[in-house]
Structure 1
Amino acid sequence: MGWDYGGHDGGGQSPAARIASGAVGIVVAAGLAVLVLRPELMPWRDAEDASPLAAETEQPSAAPSEEAFPDLPTLREPFKGSPALRWADGAAGIEVPKARAVGWMSERQTAAALQRAKEFLVASNLDPAVIKGGKPAAALKLVDPEQPDARKDLERSLERPTAENDPTSLFTRFSPYEVRQVGTVVKTRGRMTVENGKGEDAGLVLIRTDYTFVYPVVKARPGADEVTRSIVRRQITFSLADPAKYVSTKGKLFLYEWQANVGNDSCEAPLDGFLHPTFDSDLVDDPAAPEPSGPAVDPYDRSKDLDQLPQECGTSSRT
């Protein structure tokens, strides 16, 4: 799925921008063993290691280890029992690599472009107003107006979401009438690289980003205390065009391509531009709810690219 904006024929034309919106909704399965064998009642369990992880510099070779009976998240400790407990908080987890001259861009130009890529990720996934369902205005302003129809299509996706044009493939938004975030921290982990385009991408500098964001939430009703988490992983590539060959705007980014995978997002929810986390209590209250047909996926596993994962709605192995 996606759009193709223009071509690579130079002569003042905008470079091609392929936007792949391959969002996959995954719901969390209820675990009866977890409900019976409460982790906090197991005195032999060691305390969780909360020491911060070193920054991710390359793709991991395997998923984080998974406990048989992980601790349950609470309002005071919403990341308890999750690998994200040791991840960085918010924007601190989006580390910009050391800049160097790449392609047509000088070291200084590359540094500025990397910072803009970080600003986009922060504005689209960490802005509290956006998480609460608001419009990602700051992120939209970073999109190059010379990218044909891109801004218009994104605006349209926010106003009238469809399966082919879903804003959650780029922006993390929850309905404030459905859930609210627990605390203010979103855990973040990933990496960013920059490279010179080759072949049909000659004349472009590509910034590739791969980040996972973890959001603890409770239901919006007063007094709600059951905490669940949605895990959003995004692979987004931005392109910057040589102004000698293409028309582009200084200080802006072309959205070259993107993919997203969401762990704990209801497959049955309406396409309304928001993520819809599932709670264990929902599954207990409605045991006849249809089960997802796809295989189980670990949303914390960053060892595979998103295009290697199943594309049908499946089950999250953990939240």
Structure 2
Amino acid sequence: MSDKPSDDHSSASEIPDDVWEQFIRDAERDTRGSAPKEPSARARMVTERLRRQEERGESPPGWRTGPVSPETNGRAGRRRTLWAVLGVPVAVAVALVALKPSLLPGDPFGTGESAAAEASPLPAESAAPTAAPGASDPEPPTLDEPFAGSPALRWADGEAGIVLPEAKAVGPVSKDRVEQALKLTRKLLVAANLDPETVRGERPEAALSLLDPKQPGLLDDLNTALRAPSGTHDPVTMFSRFDPDEIRPAGDVIKTRGRMTFEKGSHAGVAVRADYTFVYPVTRADGSTEVTRTIVRRVLDVELADPAHYRVTPGRLTVRKYDEEIGNSTCDVNDGYLHPEFPSRREKGPDPTGPTTDPYDRSRSLDDGHACGTVTRT
């Protein structure tokens, strides 16, 4: 046997100790979880030395990475802590977006209009619509969001929804006369449908003061309806009124949409047609937080006649025709008030005899009949 050491032994003896130490650490890390192997005598020796150095606090720095500064280690710790805190909210946000992609700005998935567009106000109605408004998200109304799930969410608030057309002379009727007729009609719509006193069931004095007392029968009929409402004389045919003992407004906003047109009248004056829909969010007066909506569409034909040729009161309107369609109000109750139905208290009764209609559909003409029907949405 030769006394010359083997090539393997010579190569091993020429490897520095720090290299061997790093090799052992890397090997232990890379082979963790694999089948255990019996370490060599050299490996056991180096391992034992490393263990003793660690016990004395003398472990050498990493071979490839170099020393780890306390600052770097702190940043890593903070990042781990931050992700641990943000993990749950981020997961919730991802779930919400998956259920409703429209929550993301800009509509990245091409699902339709962006959230900003969906909530932006509609321009004023300048012509008769050709179809009903599109479907809305089926969200129930609440006290905080009384118009949720309604096309009226994008309608104007109250008086802002009654936009007058530009006044122009019609035949012998001057532009100023036309403008006066338009403004008086607007005042009548506001007083009869938006005035807080009228809506909460009080006598609509402001609206009555705009009507010509010389018009035969009208004021007498309206006063009779307000004093002793009945099936033949009910003030809700002209005024939007709720019983304050039964109903409270859900907020201060009534949504309004419609248009106004004019032409030469039959009494040397100007005739105005107003076609407007009003949406009233309400809750019960018993303290309930449940919200529902009543939708009232009114078509009103009035004329500002020429007092120089006819026996009329200057500055007062003559009503030629008025018609209404009411969505979500109990039928066959003629006590002078609108009676909204709430989903939780909708009573089972006889099937409605009238047609099923969309109360937001302003493309339809109003029929003379007022059969009790069903609305497709509120």
Q: TM-score, normalised by structure 1?
A: 0.81
Q: Per-residue displacement from partner, 1:126-158 (whole Å, max 9, x unpaired)?
A: 001111111110000000111112212111111
- Corresponding position: 1:95 with 2:163: yes
Contact 1:104 1:242 in 2 (8 A): no
Aligned to 1:20: none
- Give distance in 1, aligned partners of 2:183 and 2:135: 34
Whether 2:315 is the aligned partner of 1:315: answer no
Corresponding residue number in structure 2 for 1:4: none
Of the three residues 211, 234, 248, the one matched with 1:143 is 211
Q: Deviations over 1:13-59 (max 9, x none)?
A: xxxxxxxxxxxxxxxxxxxxxxxxxxx99822635611000100010
Deviation for aligned residue 1:219 = 0.6
Work out the CA distance in 1 between the residues paired with 2:370 and 2:215: 28
2:253 alignment counterpart: 185
Native 8 Å contact 2:193 2:240 kept in 1: yes
Corresponding residue for 2:361? 301
The Cα offsets for residues 264-307 of structure 1, whole Å up to 9 and x where unpaired, read as: 01114x31100000010112xx4x32231222100000001112
Could you tell me which residue of structure 2 aligns to residue 207 of structure 1? 272
Residues 112 and 267 of structure 1: CA distance in aligned 2, closer, same or farther (over 3 Å): same
1:166 positional shift: 1.4
Identity among equivalent positions (%) equals 49
Aligned-partner SS, 1:192: strand
Aligned match of 1:272 = 335
Let me know the Cα RMSD of the aligned residues: 1.8
**Is the 8 Å Cα contact of residues 103 and 204 (structure 1) preserved in structure 2?**
no
Match of 1:44 among 80, 100, 119: 100
Letter of the aligned partner of 2:341 in structure 1? T
Residues 1:221 and 2:286 are matched in the alignment: yes
Q: Which residue of 2 aligns with 1:64?
A: 133
Taking the aligned partners of 1:254 and 1:271, their CA distance within structure 2 comes to 26
1: distance between equivalents of 2:363 and 2:98?
Answer: 31
In structure 2, C-alpha distance between the alignment counterparts of 1:116 and 1:76, rounded to whole Å:
34
Alignment of 1:127-142 (within 5 A): 127-142=195-210
Unaligned runs of 5+ in 1: 1-39
Q: Pick closer, same or farther for the CA change 1:156–1:42 going to 2, 3 Å.
A: farther
Q: Which position in structure 1 is the counterpart of 2:312? A: 248
Q: Partner residue of 1:108?
A: 176
CA shift in 2, pair 1:81/1:117, >3 Å = same
Q: Write the distance in 1 (CA, Å) between the matches of 2:119 and 2:150.
A: 10
SS at match of 2:167: coil
Supply the distance in 1 between the matched residues of 2:222 and 2:97 (Cα, whole angstroms): 48
CA distance in 2: counterparts of 1:104 and 1:119, whole angstroms: 25
Question: Paired residue for 2:230?
Answer: 162
1:163 is displaced (CA, Å) by 1.9
TM norm structure 2:
0.68
* AA matched with 2:326: V
Code of the aligned partner of 1:265: S
Q: Tell me, in whole angstroms, the C-alpha distance in 1 between the residues paired with 2:242 and 2:260.
A: 26
Q: Tell me the distance in 1 between the aligned counterparts of 2:320 and 2:210.
A: 13
Q: Distance in 1 between matches of 2:125 and 2:271?
A: 19
Supply the distance in 2 between the matched residues of 1:231 and 1:159 (Cα, whole angstroms): 25
> Whose radius of gyration is greater, 1 or 2?
2
What is the aligned partner in structure 2 of residue 173 from structure 1?
Answer: 241
Which residue type is aligned with residue 59 of structure 1?
A
- Bigger fraction of residues in strand: 1
Give 3-state SS (helix, strand or coil) of 1:307's partner: coil
Secondary structure, aligned partner of 2:102: coil
Give the unaligned 5+ runs of structure 2: 1-95, 104-114
Decide whether the 8 Å contact of 1:104 with 1:205 is kept in 2: no
**2:9 corresponding residue in structure 1:** none
Q: Which one of 147, 153, 157 corresponds to residue 79 of structure 1? A: 147
Cα offset, 1:160, TM superposition: 1.1
**2:120 aligned with 1:54:** no
What's the secondary structure of 1:78's corresponding residue? coil
Range moving further from structure 2, 133-142 or 157-166: 157-166
Would you say the 8 A contact 2:173–2:268 is kept in 1? no
The verdict on how the C-alpha distance between 1:220 and 1:77 changes in structure 2, with shifts beyond 3 A counting, is same
| Matched AA of 2:308 | A
Aligned residue-pair number: 270
Cα deviation code 1:63-103 (max 9, x no counterpart): 00124x61111100000000000000000000111111124
Task: Kindly indicate which of the two structures has a greater share of residues assigned to helix.
Answer: 2
Give me the whole-angstrom Cα distance separating, in 2, the residues matched to 1:138 and 1:202.
Answer: 25
